[in-house]
Structure 1
Amino acid sequence: MAKIRVSRVGEQIKKEIVDIVRTEVKDPRVGFVTITGVEASGDLQHATVYVSVLGNDEQRKGSLDALQKATGFIRAEVGRRIRLRRTPELHFKLDTSLDYSTRISEVLRDIKEGETTDEPGNETGV
């Protein structure tokens, strides 16, 4: 039962953080940021916010730094919007799963292209 509540609270926190980052965080370093997930601890004292940033490594680092600098503001806004006994501490982490899936897709595409050129009948000198 407690896991269900933690999951629901995590989803609500995610929804509010998305809205706060989109409308109220004015730092120009925050570029194309996507909140991919929120994992809350069992006692709701801490929440890890996973962030995906579109751009190069420098832009990712800048966006993550800007979000970490705005953590106090974002936490205060979440606390104002969601009625909890205690607002969880927010920890922003870069979500690299999209990069990982893109790399897997590239490898699979390369393997498929390699198989199509090795098939019998694709030889040009015969």
Structure 2
Amino acid sequence: MRKNSIKNVRINAEVQRELSNIIRNEVKDPRIHMLTSVVSVIVAPDLKTCKAYISVLGSTEEGEATVAGLKSAEGFIRSQLAKNLNLRNTPQIQFILDQSIEYGVNMTRKIEELAEEERHEED
């Protein structure tokens, strides 16, 4: 199976959808922030491993605590994933904190500040 085959893209989407549902509805760890979203999921072609990119709307400490909570609940999440998806192998999940959304918001804010400064200089 090629890395970007249609089957692999479909599996990535299904795992992402199920992970989002499991994290939102079934995991009860208080470390996991309420505004946690699964940005993307990359499942290896052999279905043995999975990288889940997690975004948390909040501070960096909240994001790190959320990833720690998800890592401790990995066994439960993996068993729920096996129950909900019919895959030959249930992948071992590696949670990675994705800060690209936060980076984009900060860059947009800086661009707006520079544009505002330039408008004041023209006046």
Scaled by the length of structure 2, the TM-score of the pair is 0.91
Deviation, 1:23, is: 1.2
1:12 corresponds to: 14
CA RMSD of aligned residues (A): 1.3
Q: Which structure has the larger Rg over C-alpha atoms?
A: 1
C-alpha separation between the residues in 2 aligned to 1:107 and 1:42? 40
2:47 aligned counterpart, secondary structure: coil
C-alpha separation between the residues in 1 aligned to 2:89 and 2:46? 10
% same residue? 32
2:88 aligned counterpart, secondary structure: coil
1:6–1:44: 8 Å Cα contact kept in structure 2?
Answer: no
Q: Which amino acid aligns with 2:61?
A: E
1:105 corresponds to: 108
CA offsets per residue over residues 77-98 of structure 1, 9 Å max, x none?
Answer: 1111111111111100001111
2:68 aligned counterpart, secondary structure: helix
Q: Which amino acid aligns with 2:28?
A: K
Scaled by the length of structure 1, the TM-score of the pair is 0.89
1:38–1:48: 8 Å Cα contact kept in structure 2?
Answer: yes
Q: Is 2:98 aligned against 1:95?
A: yes
Correspondence for 1:42 among 39, 45, 48: 45
Gapped regions of structure 2 (runs ≥ 5):
none
2:55 corresponds to: 52
2:69 corresponds to: 66
1:34 aligned counterpart, secondary structure: strand
